[in-house]
Structure 1
Amino acid sequence: MTRTAVITGGMSGLGAATATRLADEGVKVIRFDLAPGADVVVDVSDSAAVNAAAAELGSIDILINCAGIVGPNKPLWEVSDAEWQKVFAVNVTGTFNLCRAFVPGMQELGWGRIVNFASMAGKDGNPNLSAYSASKAAVIAMTKSLGKELATSGVLVNAIVPAVIETPMNDDTSPEVLAHITSLIPMKRVGRAEEVAELAAWLASDKVSFSTGAAYDISGGRATY
């Protein structure tokens, strides 16, 4: 049986790497993104657009919520309302919109895998990234709640919590911030997208069977809890 996966932010970075890895496993991958070439061009923060896309696709087996933005690199007191709201709209509301749209179909099937991408910033809090850190903490908490709600349904929900990974998402992050967060990694290097995609592929498979509502660190040793 061929399984179908929706991957948000699937055209670049961790989303693209995960799409490639799942396709290697024979999974039919549907990439949601705003970038040209996406299978479905959609703004994940727009609930109506997400619901329409989900209704057209029908039931899926795997949902990978990878779409995200870093947002402003500045002290909290300098962050504008618009900057704060945009980060939460994509990172938190986007994840909520996709889960809400596809969970019912997974429940009907009695099988599903949801993988939400969070960040080590959501556990530790990175300086000058208050909006991003807070949004990723929310993703972790949402994952834990949803995992409990679906625990006996056959639908497993887990989060991946990376430290800094070499992806285009970090292109606009200031060198000072990148240097700081890389210095916190005991392995003294940033991660690679394919390393994270390997974890995502496991969490999206039958091989994970007794784990839900969990946050999986992939941090080069940075994680402390």
Structure 2
Amino acid sequence: MNHTPTSRTVVITGAAGALGRAVAQQFLDEGAQLALVDQDEGRLRSVFAGRADMSPHQLVAADVTSEAGMAAAAVRIEQALGRVDVLVHVAGGFEMGEPVHALSRAAWDRMMNLNAWSFVAVTRAFVPQMLGDGAGKVVAVSAGSAVRGAAQMAAYVASKSALQRLVEALSQEVRTKGINVNSIAPTIMDTPANRESMPNADHSAWVSTAVAAKTIGFLASDAALSIHGQHVVVGA
């Protein structure tokens, strides 16, 4: 894949998670300056100690579902690092749930807030600056399961499907203004949490975080300038 190693500024949400760490390493290897966003600054400092816990990189504690919180984070990041070139929205959530006929409003709201509304709050914070600059890349992390319903996963699948529609809509709105908006849609990610929850599964078919991060790196590169509103499925 043809990447674009530069001193670009890259914002990564959900940076302290397994995939977020791999994405951060991908862009560190490219020489980017990073703004790493997660809920807990202490966890960020622990995860990125010795790698991205000092200038010019920024560690930012913020709630991705909060418009005010993300607006404040964007001001801090832009003051410290200048323009944002790439926004990678990794943050999200997964949980098994009730069947549709017994689905609780709390479970529905939790998944919709984490996986769909968060994309609105995060892009609201950073896309206006990209529009002003006439350039930018937005990459979200969707899921291969977003294409159809699944038992006991209604809220999760619906929220990831909603995220894909938001990605497509934003792409239609900004593609003529120099901004690429796409997502990756992994099948099952090979993470410690997934291994713990599915100990008897065939892990060999799962998607490594490094492979997913490389795919994100491609979508954020100049090699992907003609790709708009797509969901790149990663995995079998």
TM-score range, shorter chain: 0.7 to 0.9
2:115 aligns with 91
- The equivalent position to 1:122 in structure 2, one of 146, 159, 171, is 146
Percent same amino acid among aligned pairs?
30
Q: CA RMSD in A?
A: 2.0
Residue 24 of structure 1 corresponds to: 29
Tell me if 1:214 matches 2:234.
Answer: no
Question: Is 1:72 aligned to 2:96, yes or no?
Answer: yes
Superposition TM-score, scaled by structure 1 size: 0.87
**SS of 2:205's equivalent?**
coil
Unpaired segments ≥5 residues, structure 1: 221-225
The CA deviation string for residues 136-162 of structure 1, in whole angstroms up to 9 with x for no partner, is 001111111111111111110001111
Deviation at 1:29, TM superposition (A): 1.4
For 1:109 and 1:69, the matched residues in 2 are separated by 31
Code of the residue aligned with 1:43 in structure 2: it is D
Larger helix percent: 2
Shift in Å at residue 75 of structure 1?
A: 2.1
State the Cα deviation string for residues 101-129 of structure 1 (Å, max 9, x = none).
Answer: 10111111221000011001111333211
Unaligned runs of 5+ in 2: 1-5, 45-58
Preserved CA contact (<8 Å) 1:70 1:169: no
What's the offset of the Cα at 1:133?
A: 0.3
Find 1:199's aligned residue among 185, 195, 215. Answer: 215
Deviation at 1:28, TM superposition (A): 1.0
CA contact (8 A) 2:205 2:235 kept: no
CA–CA distance in 2 between the matches of 1:108 and 1:69?
Answer: 31
TM-score (norm 2): 0.83
Aligned length: 212
Q: Give the aligned partner of residue 76 of structure 2.
A: 56
After superposition, give the CA deviation of every residue in 1:144-187 in whole Å (9 maximum; x if it has no partner). Answer: 111111111111000111100112453675x49x85xx6xxxx9
Once the two structures are superposed, the pairs formed by residues 68-217 of structure 1 within 5 Å of their partners are 68-170=92-194, 173=197, 175=198, 179=201, 189-217=205-233
**Aligned partners of 1:131 and 1:87: how far apart in 2?**
6
Structure 2 CA distance for aligned equivalents of residues 88 and 22 of structure 1? 28
Tell whether the 8 Å contact from 1:12 to 1:168 is kept in structure 2 after alignment. no
Partner residue of 1:3?
A: 8
In 1, the alpha carbon distance for the partners of 2:152 and 2:196 equals 13
CA displacement at 1:69 relative to structure 2: 0.7
What is the deviation of 1:74? 3.4
Whole-Å separation in 2 of the counterparts to 1:139 and 1:130: 14
Deviation of residue 85 (structure 1)?
0.6
Structure 2 Cα separation of the partners of residues 146 and 153 of structure 1: 11
Q: Check whether the contact 1:69–1:169 (CA below 8 A) recurs between aligned residues.
A: no
